[in-house]
Amino acid sequence: MRKTVLITGACVNTGVAIVQKFAAEGYDVVFTGRSQATVSEMEKSYRAQYPDVHIRGYALHSLNEDGSVNEQAVEELFEKLDQDNISIQVLVLNAADQGLNMKIFENPLQDFQRVLNTNVSWNFCLCQAAALRMKEQGGGSIVFINSNTAYRSIPDRIAYVTSKGAQLGMMRALALDLGKYNIRVNAVLPGMIKTNRWDQNPEFYANVPSRFTPLGDVAVGADIADAVWYFAESARNTTGAELVVDGGNTIQLYPQIPENK
Ligand SMILES: NC(=O)c1ccc[n+]([C@@H]2O[C@H](COP(=O)([O-])OP(=O)(O)OC[C@H]3O[C@@H](n4cnc5c(N)ncnc54)[C@H](OP(=O)(O)O)[C@@H]3O)[C@@H](O)[C@H]2O)c1
């Protein structure tokens, strides 16, 4: 039987690479993005790339207009999949609110909560809905796309950094509670990934990877997708685990300053 993966936030950047990896390996794919127009466009593009794979996109926003978590939309998505006899074997929680430019003395609590609502509470709803079905199916795999910022902070990202730390706690708690149902829960921790934001800050990217990663380079989406694939398909006896994919960024203490010659 063909397996199906559900990947959130898969219309751009890392999510696209994860769709491509699973589709190329013969999985059927369900993916989400926030805008129906973009989802439809990407669905068309994925179907053209992988004509033998069943690929369906759904517009799914984490939040209601008042900022509360849109639990109902998650329920509706899974009910729709049930009606269409689509069962999810692998859930990849890739979508995230990046919480950029969050200033400790300027941003109100509401901004902080917005990021936590998406990156933690909404993902909880997705895990709950998926795990309920995986339990009935006899097992499954949940993979969080987390971040090495769960361990080491970056400036003006307090909500994001907090959310990624919280996500790791949730990952371990889920791994413990769901292990008895043969549902494995793990996390990939990227460092810097080359996204479409890459070119917006050439000074940063010209200097930071070379000085702050032993490998002197950052990940591309496919590197993250390979790590997700490992947890989904190869790691039969692994749950509650973290796989850091950051060029060694986390283990390096001092920047490597080029010598003046
Ligand atoms: N980029 C990095 O350097 C980096 C480093 C470490 C970890 N990560 C992690 O890797 C994952 C992917 O990163 P990325 O940079 O590829 O992501 P990205 O370019 O910021 O894309 C994020 C995706 O999440 C979706 N999304 C954002 N807010 C949402 C919301 N409120 N409700 C539903 N969906 C929402 C977006 O939907 P739309 O398509 O509708 O915009 C988009 O598809 C994230 O979990 C991120 O935290 C990234």
> Residue 13 C-alpha to ligand 1 middle, in angstroms?
8
pLDDT in tens, 154-173: 999 999 999 999 999 999 99
> Residue 259 C-alpha to ligand 1 middle, in angstroms?
37
184 CB neighbour count, 10 Å cutoff: 25
Q: Which CATH class is domain 4-196+218-247?
A: alpha beta
One-letter amino acid at 50 equals Y
According to DSSP, residue 260 is labeled P
Beta carbon of 195 within 6 Å of any ligand 1 atom:
yes
3-state secondary structure of 62: coil
Strand partners, 4: 28
pLDDT at 261 over 70: no
72 CB neighbour count, 10 Å cutoff: 10
Alpha carbon 159 to its chain centroid, in Å, reads 16
pLDDT at 259 over 90: no
Structural domain spans, the chain: 4-196+218-247
Q: 250 near 191, Cβ under 8 Å? A: yes
> Residue 97 C-alpha to ligand 1 middle, in angstroms?
6
pLDDT in tens, 190-202: 999 999 888 888 8
According to DSSP, residue 25 is labeled T
The overall pTM is greater than 0.75:
yes
Give, to the nearest 10 degrees, the angle between helix 109-116 and helix 158-178.
Answer: 30
pLDDT in tens, 103-160: 999 999 999 999 999 999 999 999 999 999 999 999 999 999 999 999 999 999 999 9
Q: Quick one: what percent of the chain has pLDDT higher than 70?
A: 100
Q: 247 near 223, Cβ under 8 Å? A: no
Beta carbon of 18 within 6 Å of any ligand 1 atom:
no
Is residue 79 packed enough to be buried (19+ CB in 10 Å), middle (13-18) or exposed (0-12)? Answer: exposed
Beta carbon of 201 within 6 Å of any ligand 1 atom:
no
